[in-house]
Chain A
Amino acid sequence: MGQVAEPERPAVPLLEARGLVKHYGSVLALDGASFSAYPGEVVALIGDNGAGKSTLVKTLSGVIRPDQGQILVGGEHVNLSSPLDARAHGIETVYQDLSLAPDLDAAANLHLGREIYRWWPPLRVLNKAEMRRRAVAAFADLGVELKDVTAPVATLSGGQRQSVAVARAVSYASRIIFMDEPTAALGVVQRERVLDNIRRVRDRGITVVLISHNMPEVLAVADRVEVLRMGRRVARFIAADTTIEQLVGAMTGALTTEEESA
């Protein structure tokens, strides 16, 4: 049976969702889903297709609003009505589709939405040199080698694009980063690089929420695992004490460690 991780952790989660409900028309995407992430950990959020992972991530990053339920950051009730709200609470998301503008270069993407300027309105212009300089520094911080930060992101490899997206999130996020299937489109080498990225981010004290289908990867990098099934959290595990069989069991419904009342 799976071990419940709760007692080992600090009392107050950094981010907590309680009883989230979300309907899309007649489809119930979240059916009283709960989730918690603690400071400085990598927590994996897993579940089968349609379990509600993406919907949960979107509600927690302010992209969509739940019909019911509460979201707490550091124990305080918050209202995340836009990605900017989430960002204000130090929450960033690296999306499955990477959320990059392929025609802009890495430096422009890194600073999209918070450009650095020279001069003042009405003659305020982009400070491209400074943005480029900071981009190079940000990539170096992550141990990413990017030869040309002025090349359109579309010309980069999948792994490099992923690195740009991660660097972007890291430089915004002060507390939590959601990574939605960060390795889905990548080859073996890039996959390792992304897992390294995740560890580096955690080592900076930022909590990483990893959404993934890849069980060995989850167990390799996560400290804890929370399992979602049919719009609810059905199990929590400490990664070190858990086997792939247990995760799969929880995902498919063969195994349930908690039953929550929404």
Chain B
Amino acid sequence: MTRLAPDVPARAMARSPLVVRRALSAGETWVFAALIILMAIFTGLAPGKFLTLNNLSLNAQTAAPFLLMAVGETFVILTAGIDLSVGFVLVLCGVVAGEFYLSNGGPDAGVGTIWLGAILGLLTGAAFGALQGFAVAKLKIPPLIATLMGLGVAEGLSYLITGGSDVRAVPNTLVSSIGTGYFAGVQWVIIISFLVTLVFGLILAYTRFGRYTYAIGSNPEAALRAGVNVDWHLIKVYSLSGLMAGVAGIVNLAYFGTTTISAHPLDNLTVITAVVIGGASLFGGRGSMLGTFIGVFIPVLLLSGLNIVGVNQYWQYILTGLVLGAAVYLDQIRRRLRERA
């Protein structure tokens, strides 16, 4: 803590091998290590059951909607915001598409109708997210409250539209293609979620949109003074999160062949945990899509592992909650250490 020459520690740090330093300080390395340890534990507890191609593929399918929502959530959290509404917007978008299919041929709907319904669902998500972004950016409602409000609205709308019972009239073509179909030996669900993650990972890392997302989360005042349209960017980011929940909603609809209205109350817990475990800071400005990608599999594999080992699956929520707490605590420590440096 000598105030005499603050340049010295920085210079000393710069001398240690750059690659090693970067790898160790990168959040992704640690998350990946945690994931490997988790897999090793369950493989040890249930040899020949957990670490099988079949189970891993099943987990990747389970992870798909979470991964899609986590992509949007990553952008939101990087701006130092939060989106609690994701699972409920997922349901709303599925309901909008489902109702459209119901009144346009139901199970026998053609490809054109399927596309139209899907686009309707995605637009619903994007518009819903944009409204939440407007509440955050323009009305200055804290993200926690704005998206809690949105959560309630999405939930209410879903029940109002459907009258409380799931829409099951999902087009057969949708279910047999996106839902359960394969492309080159891999489920469409997995391909879509991985591809979307890759594309938005690249956008986050290599475009102005991504750079401004980090800048706003890091210091909104600096971004504003640098000429970044902070409000508009926030609206876009929340809209993206809604859009991703919409994509997840369509995938979910195709996968289960029903709107699963009541099955997503804790998706936000899983998604936010995944993003935070992945190294994103709730204070904004720090995190990566690779981290999120790895992070998503921790709660998902936890659930699968507990199931296989025969532990009541509700332990998953308790453990996920605790993991979220631990991840945020570690982030606090990291920040404090960095500020001292």
Please state if B339 and A154 are interface contacts (CB–CB under 8 Å). yes
Residue B20 lies at the interface, judged by CB distance under 8 Å to chain A: no
A112 x B226 contact (CB < 8 A): yes
> Which residues of chain A from 153 to 212 have any CB-CB distance to chain B below 8 Å in the complex?
154-160, 187, 189-190
Q: Which residues between 113 and 142 of chain A lie within 8 Å of chain B, taking CB atoms? A: 113-115, 117, 124-126, 128
Interface locus among A71-79, A102-110, A224-232: A102-110
**Stretch of A22-30, A37-45, A93-101, A241-249 contacting B (4+ beta carbons < 8 Å):** A93-101
With A126-B206, A155-B341, A159-B6 as known contacts, state yes or no: A99 contacts B225, CB within 8 Å.
yes
B211 touches A103 (CB 8 A): no
Pick from A63, A84, A126, A159: contact of B227, CB below 8 A.
Answer: A84
Are A99 and B14 in contact, with the CB atoms below 8 A? no
**Complex partner residue of A147 from B11, B219, B222, B284, CB under 8 angstroms:** B11
Q: Is the CB of A108 within 8 A of B211?
A: yes
Name the B residues within 8 Å of A100 (CB-CB). Answer: 219, 222
Q: Does B285 contact A (CB under 8 A)?
A: yes
With the chains together, A159 CA to B5 CA distance in Å? 10
Q: Is the CB of A126 within 8 A of B207?
A: yes
Whether B192 sits at the interface, judged by CB under 8 Å, is no
For A115, what are the chain B residues with a Cβ–Cβ distance below 8 Å?
Answer: 208, 211
| B215 contacts A by Cβ under 8 Å | yes
What distance in Å separates the Cβ of A248 from its nearest Cβ neighbour in chain B? 27
Q: Does A148 contact B (CB under 8 A)?
A: yes
Please, which residues of chain B bring their CB within 8 A of the CB of A87?
227
The docked-state distance in angstroms from the alpha carbon of A187 to that of B4 is 7
Cβ B3 vs Cβ A187 within 8 A: yes
**Smallest CB-CB separation from B6: which chain A residue?**
A157
Closest to A122 in B: B207
Cβ–Cβ < 8 Å partners of B225 in chain A: 63, 83, 93, 95, 99
Most buried by A among B206, B224, B226: B226
The CA of A228 and the CA of B88, in the complex, are separated in Å by: 56
A186 to chain B, nearest CB (A): 9
Q: Are B207 and A124 in contact (CB under 8 A)?
A: yes
Are the C-beta atoms of A103 and B227 separated by less than 8 Å?
no
Contact B10 A160 (CB under 8 A): yes
Give the nearest-CB partner of A168 in chain B: B226
Question: Which one of B11, B207, B218, B224 contacts A102 once the chains associate, using CB atoms below 8 Å?
Answer: B218
Query: Interface size bucket, A side?
Result: 35 or more
Query: Once the chains are docked, how many angstroms separate the CA of A155 from the CA of B5?
Result: 14
Q: Are B206 and A125 interface neighbours, CB within 8 A?
A: yes
Are B223 and A101 closer than 8 Å at their CB atoms?
Answer: yes
Instruction: Give the distance in Å from the alpha carbon of A160 to the alpha carbon of B341 in the complex.
Output: 13
Hey, which chain B residues are within 8 Å of A108, CB to CB?
Answer: 211, 214-215
Given the complex, which residues of B lie within 8 Å of A156, measured CB to CB?
10
* Chain B residue contacts of A160, Cβ below 8 A: 7, 10
> Closest residue to A148 on the B side, CB-wise?
B14
B308 in contact (CB, < 8 A): no
Partner of B6, one of A93, A114, A190: A190
Pick the contact of B10: A93, A102, A126, A157 (CB < 8 A).
A157
Bound form: Cα–Cα A218–B165 in Å: 74
Whether the Cβ atoms of A104 and B10 lie closer than 8 Å is no
Rounded to whole angstroms, the CA-CA distance of A95 and B4 in the bound complex is 24
B236 is an interface residue with CB less than 8 A from chain A: no
CA of A59 to CA of B225, assembled, Å = 13
Interface centre among A113, A124, A159 (most CB of B within 10 A): A113
CB-nearest residue of chain B relative to A172?
A: B226
Q: Which of B7, B222, B223, B228 has the most CB of A within 10 A?
A: B222
Which A-chain residue is minimally distant from B18 (CB atoms)?
A: A148
Given A99-B222, A99-B225, A114-B227, A104:B214 Cβ within 8 A: yes
Using Cβ atoms and an 8 Å threshold, which residues of chain A touch B207? 124-126
User: CA A158 – CA B211 in complex, angstroms?
Assistant: 24
Question: Quick one: which of B159-185 are within 8 Å of A by CB?
Answer: none
B 1-39 binary contact with A (CB < 8 Å = 1; else 0) = 001111101110110001000000000000000000000
Q: Are B222 and A126 in contact (CB under 8 A)?
A: no
Instruction: List CB contacts (< 8 Å) of B222-267 with chain A.
Output: 222-228
Are B227 and A99 closer than 8 Å at their CB atoms?
no
B222 touches A101 (CB 8 A): yes
From the candidates B18, B218, B339, name the one contacting A103 in the complex (CB within 8 A): B218
Minimal beta-carbon separation of A156 from chain B (angstroms):
6
Interface string of B255-289 (1 = CB under 8 A from A): 00000000000000000000000000000111000
**Chain B contact residues, CB within 8 Å of chain A:** 3-7, 9-11, 13-14, 18, 206-208, 211, 214-215, 217-219, 221-228, 284-286, 338-339, 341
Which 3 residue pairs are nearest across A and B when measured between Cβ atoms? A113-B226, A103-B285, A157-B6
A residues in contact (CB < 8 Å) with B: 63, 83-84, 87, 93, 95, 97-104, 108-109, 112-115, 117, 124-126, 128, 147-148, 151, 154-160, 187, 189-190
| A-B contacts, 25 listed (Cβ < 8 Å) | A83-B225, A83-B227, A95-B225, A99-B219, A99-B221, A101-B214, A101-B215, A101-B223, A101-B285, A102-B219, A103-B284, A103-B286, A104-B211, A124-B207, A126-B206, A128-B206, A147-B10, A151-B10, A155-B10, A155-B13, A157-B7, A159-B6, A187-B3, A187-B5, A189-B5
